[in-house]
Structure 1
Amino acid sequence: MCGISLIISGAVRIDLSCLIPDFESQLPQHSDKVQNPSFSVDLKAALQRRGPDSIRSKKLFFFLETYPEDGENLHLFGSGMMIKRLMTSFCSFGIRDDCVISENEVTTSSSSLANPIVEMDFLGATLQLRGTTPVSQPLVDNSRNILIYNGEIFGGLHVDCLGNDTLTLMQALDECCSCSCLGDKSACFCHDNGKTSVPELLSTISGPWALIYWQDVSSTLWFGRDAFGRRSLLVHWPSSDDSRFLLSSVSPESHTNEITDSHVEYCASNNEFWEELSCGIYSIQLVASELHGCLVGKVRKHEWNPGLKKLIEWKRTSVEPKDEKACSGIEQHSLSVPAQKVLIALRDSVMRRAAVNPIMQSNEVGGEKFAPVAILFSGGLDSMILAALLDRCLDSCYEIDLLNVSFDGQFAPDRIAAKAGVKELQRIAPSRRWNLVEIDADLLKLTSEIKHVMSLITPSNTYMDLNIGLALWLAAGGDGWLLEESLNTFSVEKQHLKYKSEAKILLVGTGADEQCAGYGRHRTKYKQGGWLLLHEEMRLDMQRIWKRNLGRDDRCISDNGKEARFPFLDEDVIRILLEIPLWEVADLDQPSGIGDKKILREVARLLQLEDVASLPKRAIQFGSRIARESNKKNFGSNRAANQVSAGSVVIQSRTNGS
């Protein structure tokens, strides 16, 4: 799956008082039409860009019709509810396909249902990587529930080895509790009958996901994203300027052809229009309101199950050694014990994410094996570990694409490290064909690309976000060069051949630095306040990773028709790392390249990656040298950029066209 969206418009009043104080007072008294919409939102075009296998829409309508003989009742069909009203109205609903109205999908014989009062437009763009037969979304089951799901199920809910995640989830959701308790066990009439609630079911899923689900019998809309935010989901809450309620995997691009001051103004407005939906499970139960003369629904946020909630709180078993000898007196050979646990957890995580399913194997042309999985590859510690583990998990007949982006040709630090890394991988896995895909870019020639990536990173809006997003977007595109060597009688000839990676799965090392103290600020916090302050900073990083990194990165990678998978953010990997004493994870009394991410350096040695085990951390914006080129372009020089902390400068606060 590569994208989902929902637009709710018309006579519906969304109550956000449970999430935003005093929100109700911001809305007009009646919401019988969209109030001056800020944008003409073309979400279909934004999702279509991603190259999905299919893209479809289902529209859910609510209608009003007069029944003279029943003038005091308002019926809300599809929800089983009826309320007394001094109003001669009848409310029904119908489900319509994007192109065709199916006669058996409309539940009334009336001919005057042409003017719905409320419309819900569900849109699903499917990039199918699992299962044996193609599945298009949105799905509508026999109970008239509607599901659009962007994610993978790697555990918690059983999916047959040849099955499809979305179909499996749809069946499980149909069996969930549908009473008005909305997950509150104390008020639930279904729990004693063995039924689980929607929040309980979603809490069991291991893996990345974002979801929009209409539960028909309770007239409830469920939506949300996984506990760590590994799949993007943006939201526009209704406002006095634009009363629509929107959810989307990505914001649409502006129609401006050039990056001008007006485009910068558009981005400023667009950033205010959208926000990252915070991780969690939400519900809106729609009811007819006599007071407001429309449908109303209160947004509620639900709790995860206790096991997942504990993981999100990110409490480590042992933070501070009680005895100084606990961290200084450990024998060297014993350090491999926790590292072995991490290695096993990471191997299993990569195995789950790199499985080549039958529907992917159908992409093999003429019996030739292709590269089904690629790695965002800098040649650094994290990407080298993923490469070595992928080699162990993927049949040796398959090639592996290593995607490396540079804004300084062969001189960027990441390009130099990547070439050295490939040699080390060839040493430990000589039978594997490793494709180092060299993706070169010139920032001054990327005018239209920058404009497009600015829409992808929305609502992120700093130069650092743009630099990282652009580097990720180009790398995920996989359009570069391979260095091929051929032997002749007298010498080895080298030539660069044009190459585009067709791998649909992209492994990314996000989460390694946050969990293993890989950032410079971690060392600063440790010097300021020791182990406790270091732990608090790492926990903060993990609890805000959804907002600072993952939504942005998922949008930039998915735009290329690729699916980002994050092995370091597997639930089991996170759990194992939290069970290991902090001083085993990192030792920031040691120099850079030794003490930071200490446990991952030990994992690298267990994988026979001796050279990379001592490489210092280098972020993609610096390793690819896009930050340097961006500083020159937008601020005149690196020095000038550093004086104003260019990375954190908000793009729309400047009007130089970038």
Structure 2
Amino acid sequence: MCGILLHYCPHKQLSEDELTEFPEGTDFGKTTCVNESSIFNRIIPYIAARGPNYSSLRVIKAHQTRWFSSVLSLRRPFTKQSINVDDRYHLQFNGELYNKEISDWDNDSLYIASLLRNLEDGRNVVDVIRSLEGEYAYTVYDVKSSIFYFGRDPIGKRSLSYSVTLNNELYVASVTGAVEGFQDCIGGVVYGFDTRTKLLNGKQRLRPPYEVTSRIDPEFESLSKISKNLYDVLHDSVKKRVESIHPAHIENSPIAILFSGGIDCSVIAALVCEVLLEHHYECGKPTIELLNVSFENPRTGLLPSGTPDRKLSISSAKIIQNLYPQIDIRLVEVDVPYEKYLKWRPYVIDLMYAKQTEMDLSIAIAFFFASRGEGFLKLPHGERKSYQRQGVVLLSGLGADELYGGYHKFANKAHHELVKELTRQINNIYERNLNRDDKVIAHNGVEVRYPFLDEYVINLSTLEIPINYKVNKLILRKVASLFLKLDEIAEEPKRAIQFGAKSAKMTKDGNKHGTDLLK
């Protein structure tokens, strides 16, 4: 996982070509890059936080461009960014790829560089991007065509924004804070900025929009078969997201899961356990951290220990621990006192920009604290000890509600209405959830991965699962009970994180609505 910042500045006199490398632990709140623009300097600390293992500034005078990149190293060999590919392409890559061919490379950034290096006549950068499988954002500069390409994967799992100024400067960044003028990139669109014409054009889609089938199986004749098919693709999705982590990370650091205790994250946790048990570990039990966040809410009078998600997470974690005694499963109770919420609230509002509603804040701040992972482990006799999350890869159950009809508002919809709504949800998830969530989670120097948003999982879920299997998440509940023995958890009702963790409506002003703009 990496942070991306690109600045094309045709009307500014750049210094000579340079490559400045910053050591791990550099304080970018106090470090600036001399002669850079104020916007560029302001964004640098956000980019550096996403990749704590390495940062660099590359300036190429002939291209009138600066690239600032940061790296969180999860796959060998360690690869510095940005990458100069034979003086023809300049590449920044943020994310993870799961193309089968990468087994021979081990590193996705080098894999993309090899594809660019070996482009045959008639193929271009867009063809390379279209061949990628995974969760990613990128910038590529093609020296020969003088075009900057940038964008996000087909579903939009990594955040990326851009700005074209009145004097034709181009900025592209993973996260910007509250800097005006930036637009979030649309998921699955390849943007092209031609430095000869100074025009942003050539917006090409990587794939058509997803379409949810309207097929109905009135007798549920295929329920068992399709449940097995869904289990298989989910297992494969989790497997490649676990096995693509450098083995040293899994041996020495846990895999973390954003954990409310509900069915979505519990299915992911159980599948991670199954994948880990397929391997032999020399260092004892493999470890999983279940990160549960709960807030002190002065409006309700609840302490973190009394929130619905905390109670559910304890019971669900116990079920999973009993199912997989070979795994060291740690429930990390992340408590957020009201004073701590108030301290970090302005910072999270800045991070999640351009989102500005009460609902966005209540979700973003929950993910922000959960991914920070400053919490407690409960000891056998009931006392708790302080604990800091160790895992740098977090798995999330996001996408299950959009694919399988989990939201309460879907419960009483007619089948044709549900088809329309789910189609809209999955195609807009990049804008509704993913851009915001990636900004606040990655700021803590971790990478989040989404098994439900795997390409094969989405294709099966949208095209092959009958719409009546998606009433109240029937199909996912069948997978949980039939193949993972999560019967008790499978019966739990849906509860949004902001209500389960009590991060919504934190003050006595109970008249606020989720759609209200922040004040």
Q: TM-score range by the shorter chain?
A: 0.7 to 0.9
Residue 504 of structure 2: aligned partner: 627
Matches within 5 A, 1:462-611: 462-485=357-380, 493-524=381-412, 526=413, 530-587=414-471, 596-606=472-482, 607-611=484-488
**Aligned positions of 1:250-399 closer than 5 A:** 250-252=175-177, 267=178, 270=179, 272-279=180-187, 280-287=189-196, 296-304=198-206, 308-309=207-208, 313-317=209-213, 319-321=214-216, 326-327=217-218, 329-330=219-220, 334-355=222-243, 357-358=245-246, 361=248, 369-395=251-277, 397-399=285-287
Once superposed, which parts of structure 1, at least 4 consecutive aligned residues long, lie more than 4 Å away? 37-41
Q: What residue number does 1:228 align with?
A: 155
Does the Cα contact within 8 Å between 1:320 and 1:531 map onto a contact in 2? no
Residues 1:537 and 1:469: Cα distance change in structure 2 (over 3 Å): same
Residue 230 of structure 1 contacts residue 551 of structure 1 at CA under 8 Å; is this kept in 2? yes
CA distance in 1, matches of 2:42, 2:151: 21
Residue 647 of structure 1 corresponds to 514
What's the counterpart of residue 118 of structure 2? Answer: 175
Contact 1:143 1:174 in 2 (8 A): no
2:155 aligned counterpart, secondary structure: coil
Larger Rg: 1
* Matched-pair contact (CA < 8 Å) for 2:291–2:332: yes
Under a length normalisation based on structure 2, what TM-score does the superposition of the two structures give? 0.88
Normalised to the residue count of structure 1, the TM-score between the two structures is 0.70
* Cα deviation digits, residues 503-538 of structure 1 (max 9, x gap): 1110001110001011122235x1xxx211211111
How far apart are residue 320 of structure 1 and its match?
4.3
For residues 443 and 38 of structure 1, the distance between their equivalents in structure 2, rounded to whole angstroms, comes to 34
CA contact (8 A) 2:358 2:516 kept: yes
Asked if the contact 1:220–1:284 (Cα under 8 Å) also holds between the matched residues in 2, the reply is: yes
**Structure 1 vs Structure 2 CA RMSD:** 2.1
Cα drift, residue 337 of structure 1: 1.2
The CA deviation at 1:167 is 0.9
Give 1:249's aligned residue. 174
Question: By how many angstroms is 1:243 displaced?
Answer: 5.0
Which whole-Å CA distance do the structure 2 matches of 1:298 and 1:2 have between them? Answer: 24
Aligned residue in 1 for 2:15: none
> Which segments of 5 or more consecutive residues in structure 1 lack a partner in the other structure?
13-36, 62-92, 95-118, 178-189, 253-266, 288-294, 486-492, 588-595
Equivalent position SS for 1:134: coil
- Indicate if the aligned counterparts of 2:415 and 2:468 stay in contact, CA closer than 8 A: no
1:458 corresponds to: 353
Distance 1:39 1:216, change over 3 A: closer
Q: Which residue of 2 aligns with 1:440?
A: 335
| 1:480-505 residue CA offsets vs partner (Å, 9 max, x unmatched) | 000121xxxxxxx3321111111111
Which residue does 1:140 correspond to in 2? Answer: 84
Aligned residue in 2 for 1:199: 126
Distance in 2 between the 1:142 and 1:245 partners? 24
Q: Distance in 2 between matches of 1:462 and 1:147?
A: 35
Which amino acid counterpart does residue 399 of structure 1 have in structure 2? T
> Which deviates more, 50-59 or 413-422?
50-59
Q: Partners in 1 of 2:290 and 2:261 — Cα distance?
A: 9
Match for residue 419 of structure 1 among 291, 310, 314: 314
1:86 corresponds in structure 2 to none
Equivalent residues, number: 480
**Secondary structure in structure 2 of the residue aligned to 1:55:** strand
CA displacement at 1:468 relative to structure 2? 0.7
Deviation at 1:316, TM superposition (A): 3.4
Query: What do residues 136-161 of structure 1 show as CA deviations (whole Å, max 9, x unaligned)?
Result: 10011223421000011112x62135
Determine helix, strand or coil for the equivalent of 1:346: helix
Structure 1 CA distance for aligned equivalents of residues 337 and 459 of structure 2 = 41
Q: Secondary structure in 1 aligned to 2:52?
A: coil
Task: For structure 2, list consecutive stretches of 5 or more residues without a partner in the other structure.
Answer: 13-36, 296-302
Residues 1:214 and 2:141 aligned together: yes
How much does 1:232 deviate?
0.3
CA shift for structure 1 position 404:
0.2
The 3 A distance-change label for structure 1 pair 410 and 628 is same
Q: Residue 487 of structure 2 aligns to a residue in which SS? A: coil
Offset from partner CA, 1:342-363 (integer Å, 9 cap, x none): 10000000001011644x50x5
